[in-house]
A and B are shown apart, each in its own frame.
Chain A
């Protein structure tokens, strides 16, 4: 049993590396021994609303209620850990509520990493779209 545990302990960092590559989970967490490989920058979360052809930041379109601000902060904290495994669905729903008559809410999550080839900070971005529910018929 001890030997099996050590094998898991030895192989897990490889799985961790794959999860970082594929889902952008935090290299600093989840026991992959990859701390001090990439700086720890908190992800940036930008929320936009689209009304027809127009696309504007939510904060300009409808302000940002305190509940939405709280959910955004919470999501940033959790996203730093879980990366792309954690979609901002709750945040999207809250943003749709706040946006009122928006057609679509768009959430762009951005994280800075050092790109080894250029030695510069590069942004890894992922965009999530949340269409407003169509009005119910009848």
Chain B
């Protein structure tokens, strides 16, 4: 569902390369995804989808989004390992979980290494230059501080982008702390259930604010692998509605930005 919806939305983008062949790719992926519903065709179909995704990564490299790699690896793992086998099913689950932990931890550590979250400099810059961030975070800023940030030009010496707002600075520091601590809490069985809920809430809020809806949906699905077995399946209708909503939004309101 995730892959086919994303491929259709990619196909509908007027500026993406490859012209009409994008629609052929989207149709092929849809057919493969439907055939994967039959157990006998599941792994061959997933293998083919993985190859399509790999082809897309190669064709768009280096402009490929990081999300595309995670998407490809998840599909490739499901194609490569037999989820119905006890041994391989367990390995599949652990591999997907480890990918989540690695992505979460490195997302936080990179923010520490770049040093742009301690004084909310990155958020300050994005609030200054991106209306979506100003809408999402501007409400917790004093009016004068928001106005100051939005008056800053894009040129050498401009700034400071450090935000003069304790709530936003605390939020900024909480982002990388949560990203770095959650993996440990997800690993430890005693804290796993609470960590799953926290991670889901965190991901949903952050990715919605950033309008990275597809990445958020993929990551939520992967996070749910830490929950009790079968939760993903039970939440399938909810995800189906989300993907349908995204497709309809792109069709009916192409000016609405999301990724």
Cα A39 to Cα B162 with chains together (Å)? 14
Cα A44 to Cα B94 with chains together (Å)? 45
Cα A13 to Cα B111 with chains together (Å)? 12
- Complex contacts, A93 vs chain B, CB 8 Å: none
Q: Which partner residue on chain A sits nearest B110 by CB separation?
A: A34
Residue with the greatest number of chain A CB neighbours at <10 A, chosen from B106, B113, B118: B106
The answer to whether A120 and B102 touch (CB under 8 A), given A2-B91, A29-B64, is no
Q: Is the CB of A114 within 8 A of B122?
A: yes
Interface size on B, residues (CB 8 A): 42
- Complex contacts, A81 vs chain B, CB 8 Å: 62-63
Q: Is the CB of B156 within 8 A of A29?
A: no
Q: Is the CB of B122 within 8 A of A121?
A: no
Q: Which partner residue on chain A sits nearest B212 by CB separation?
A: A35
Interface size on A, residues (CB 8 A): 34
Q: Looking at chain B's contact residues, is the secondary structure mostly helix, strand, loop, or mixed?
A: helix
Q: Is the CB of B155 within 8 A of A36?
A: no
Which A residues between 66 and 119 are near B, CB-CB below 8 angstroms?
81-82, 110, 112, 114, 116-119
- Complex contacts, B103 vs chain A, CB 8 Å: 33
B160 within 8 Å of A (CB atoms) = yes
Cα A137 to Cα B160 with chains together (Å)? 57
What's the nearest-Cβ distance from chain B to residue A75, in Å? 14
Kindly list 10 other residue pairs between chains A and B, CB separation below 8 angstroms, not including A6-B98, A30-B62: A2-B91, A9-B99, A27-B110, A33-B110, A36-B111, A37-B116, A114-B121, A116-B115, A121-B154, A122-B156
Q: Looking at chain A's contact residues, is the secondary structure mostly helix, strand, loop, or mixed?
A: loop
List 11 contacting pairs A-B, 8 Å CB cutoff, sorted by A: A2-B91, A9-B99, A13-B109, A17-B113, A33-B66, A35-B107, A38-B116, A112-B155, A117-B115, A120-B159, A120-B160
What's the nearest-Cβ distance from chain A to residue B118, in Å? 7
- Complex contacts, B114 vs chain A, CB 8 Å: 27, 34, 37-38, 116
Q: Is the CB of A37 within 8 A of B111?
A: yes
- Complex contacts, B210 vs chain A, CB 8 Å: 36
Closest 10 CB pairs of A and B: A120-B159, A116-B115, A119-B162, A119-B160, A37-B114, A123-B156, A34-B110, A33-B106, A13-B106, A81-B62
Contact partner of B155 among A28, A39, A121, CB < 8 A? A121
Q: Is the CB of B155 within 8 A of A10?
A: no
Which B residues between 42 and 97 are near A, CB-CB below 8 angstroms?
62-66, 69, 73, 77, 81, 91, 95
Q: Is the CB of A9 within 8 A of B102?
A: yes
The answer to whether A37 and B110 touch (CB under 8 A), given A2-B91, A116-B115, A116-B118, is yes
Contact partner of A121 among B73, B126, B159, CB < 8 A? B159
A128 within 8 Å of B (CB atoms) = no
B157 within 8 Å of A (CB atoms) = yes
B119 within 8 Å of A (CB atoms) = yes
Q: Which partner residue on chain A sits nearest B57 by CB separation?
A: A31
